[in-house]
Amino acid sequence: MSFAQTQTENLAALLKKYSDNPEKIREIAEEYRIEDIAEALEELDEDTQIKVASALPTEDIAELLSEIDEEESEDLIKNLDAMLLVDAVHEMSPDEIAELVRELDPETASLLLSKVENDKREDVCKLLNFPPDSAGSLMTPEIVVIPDHLTVAEALPIVKKQLEHAKIEDRIFIVDKAGRPVGVISLAELILADLTEKVSKLVEDKPIVVKATDDREVAANLALKYELRVVPVVDDTGKLIGAIPFDEILYTVEEETEEDMLKMVGASDPEEESPIKASLARLPWLIVNLFGGLLAGNVIKLFQNVLSKSIALAFFVPVITGMGGNAALQTATTVVRGLATGEVKLSEIWETLFKEVVVAFFVGAGCALIAGSAALIMQGEIKITLIVGTAMFTAISIAAIVGTVLPMFFEKVGVDPAIATGPFVTTSNDIIGIFIYFTVAKILL
């Protein structure tokens, strides 16, 4: 058991022990981070969760609602004292409320929204109008914005006032008369600048922005490419309406990576879907592989005369297909992730293909040497050794080509390569690997 798990269990036991003592719970809350308390609460029963949460300071309850799982947050919202919930929601920013509302069932979401003050509710509703995976859904409207015609001396009082409610506190967004962003500077740059200087003169680079309707992955890729701490968000007219903070960018990168990996094996997030939905999501991927296996079996049937000459060939069939499939999936995973992050471009297909084939040659040579040596030791026949080694090298080399070309082909025709690549790569390489293996055997036997 890891230290973190032990700490969580100890904290959960502590919260349970003092759940009827609000003063002690508040003392514990001062000693631990709210993220740790949220994790520990998930180990406790519903009644204890409500007792502990009700004893926390208002600002901690607000953070707690954002940290715990949706099931626990629904229970807390429904069972917390009405005034406590109002005070907690008051502490939350519009983007935090919107993010929480998206995870709740309609009834609980309506209850939560009813506790939000009118001005903030309007901002929350605007955020909820954006698609869940859009840049707009990640942004916060609570940023510091100043006009570009101001001097530093004129801007400082405005910045100070806006900082009282800003979620992004270390970046100042400068806009023109139409509200379009002209640049982003740090708070330190503003404070250290000459008081008579125009704030527009502090801007060094043209701002990198995303539209609110852009996919969240676009925002994450821009942040990674240009090393941005925040990403300004504009509407269709180019007017600044908010910004995506760094923590949301990191969260998006993690989510998109996990999503792509699950897609590549035809799986879904086990926490988000029921067994039936998960089964339906995985079944098509498995059916494609099933038919691929049947086709691979027919390929073996075509070479049954070759197989009859040396039954020892059958022993190495799963080795050849398995290694070819693994090599193809390694290459495909690299290319799919590169396409998603923008590191691999369709215009660079030949450069990418050359690189992956060179890698495959070295990998294939190493695996061929090991597999051939194993065949020699186990079977004691030079011909079997040559067949296994040659087939291994060829299968891995071709697997690299398939693993590179297929994702780029699907990207070109507008099909998500993360979804389509997995089943086609594994299926095609099983068939190709077996065909190569028995073709080499037919030539050498």
Residue ranges making up the domain that contains 91: 3-129
398 falls within a domain: yes
Residues 71-79, mean pLDDT to the nearest whole number: 82
261 falls within a domain: no
Give residue-wise pLDDT tens across range 228-252. Answer: 999 999 999 999 999 999 888 888 8
Least confident of 72-86, 109-123, 252-266, 354-368: 252-266
Q: Is pLDDT of 186 > 80?
A: yes
Shared-domain flag, residues 209 and 123: no
Give residue-wise pLDDT tens across range 324-344. Answer: 888 888 888 888 878 876 778
The span from the first CA to the last CA of the chain, in angstroms, equals 55
pLDDT of residue 266: 60
Alpha-carbon distance of 89 to 62, in angstroms, equals 6
Alpha helix positions (H), 22-167: 22-31, 34-41, 46-55, 58-67, 70-79, 82-91, 94-103, 106-114, 118-128, 135-138, 152-163
pLDDT of residue 189: 95
Shared-domain flag, residues 105 and 234: no
266 falls within a domain: no
* Residue where one domain finishes, among candidates 256, 290, 305: 256
Are 317 and 437 in contact by the 8 Å Cβ rule? The answer is: yes
267 falls within a domain: no
Which of 44-53, 75-84, 313-322 is the most confident on average? 44-53
Shared-domain flag, residues 119 and 192: no
Alpha-carbon distance of 233 to 240, in angstroms, equals 6
For the chain, what is the domain count? 3
Supply the CATH number for residue 222's domain.
3.10.580.10
pLDDT of residue 273: 59
Shared-domain flag, residues 13 and 98: yes
Shared-domain flag, residues 304 and 427: yes
Of 422, 390, 404, nearest to 354 (Cα)?
A: 404
Number of H helices, E strands in the chain: 21, 6
pLDDT of residue 270: 55
The total of other beta-carbon atoms located within 10 Å of residue 111's CB is 16
Shared-domain flag, residues 247 and 321: no
pLDDT of residue 267: 60
Alpha-carbon distance of 65 to 117, in angstroms, equals 17
Q: Is pLDDT of 257 > 80?
A: no
- Beta-bridge partners for 144: 172
Alpha-carbon distance of 245 to 247, in angstroms, equals 6
Residues 359-367, mean pLDDT to the nearest whole number: 92
Shared-domain flag, residues 250 and 279: no
Shared-domain flag, residues 382 and 287: yes
Supply the CATH number for residue 37's domain.
1.25.60.10
pLDDT of residue 146: 97
138 falls within a domain: no
Residues 170-181, mean pLDDT to the nearest whole number: 96
Alpha-carbon distance of 331 to 398, in angstroms, equals 11
Q: Is pLDDT of 162 > 60?
A: yes
- Higher pLDDT among residues 254 and 391, named by residue: 391
Alpha-carbon distance of 148 to 201, in angstroms, equals 9
Shared-domain flag, residues 309 and 335: yes
Shared-domain flag, residues 361 and 423: yes
pLDDT of residue 271: 57
Q: What's CA 240's distance to the chain center, in Å?
A: 26
User: What does R_g of the chain's alpha carbons equal in angstroms?
Assistant: 29
User: For residue 281, what pLDDT band results from cuts at 50, 70 and 90?
Assistant: low
* Residue where one domain finishes, among candidates 205, 227, 256: 256
- Rounded to 10 deg, the angle between the 58-67 and 82-91 helix axes is 80
32 falls within a domain: yes
135 falls within a domain: no
pTM for the full model?
0.69
* Residue where one domain finishes, among candidates 205, 229, 256: 256
Q: Is pLDDT of 283 > 80?
A: no
295 falls within a domain: yes
Shared-domain flag, residues 372 and 251: no
Residues 126-152, mean pLDDT to the nearest whole number: 93
Give residue-wise pLDDT tens across range 383-438. Answer: 888 998 999 999 999 988 888 888 888 888 877 776 667 777 877 888 888 888 88
Shared-domain flag, residues 196 and 328: no
Residues 211-230, mean pLDDT to the nearest whole number: 90
Name the residue type at position 40.
Answer: A
pLDDT of residue 4: 59
Supply the CATH number for residue 399's domain.
1.10.357.20
Are 301 and 437 in contact by the 8 Å Cβ rule? The answer is: no
Alpha-carbon distance of 364 to 358, in angstroms, equals 10
Return the structure tokens found at 233.
């968000």
Residues 350-379, mean pLDDT to the nearest whole number: 89
Quote the longest CA-to-CA distance of the chain: 91
The total of other beta-carbon atoms located within 10 Å of residue 26's CB is 14
User: How many residues does this entry show for the chain?
Assistant: 445
Give residue-wise pLDDT tens across range 290-329. Answer: 887 888 888 888 888 887 777 778 888 888 888 888 888 8
